[in-house]
Amino acid sequence: MSFCPICKRPTETSFRPFCSKRCADVDLGRWFNESYSVPVSDEDDEEKIVFPPLDPRGRLE
* pTM flag (> 0.75): no
d(CA 17, CA 24): 8
Burial class (CB in 10 A: 0-12, 13-18, 19+), 15: middle
Which pLDDT does position 33 carry in this prediction? 93
Which parts of the chain register pLDDT below 70? 42-46, 61
Backbone angles phi, psi at 45, to 5 degrees: -80, -20
Please give the class, per CATH, of domain 1-36.
alpha beta
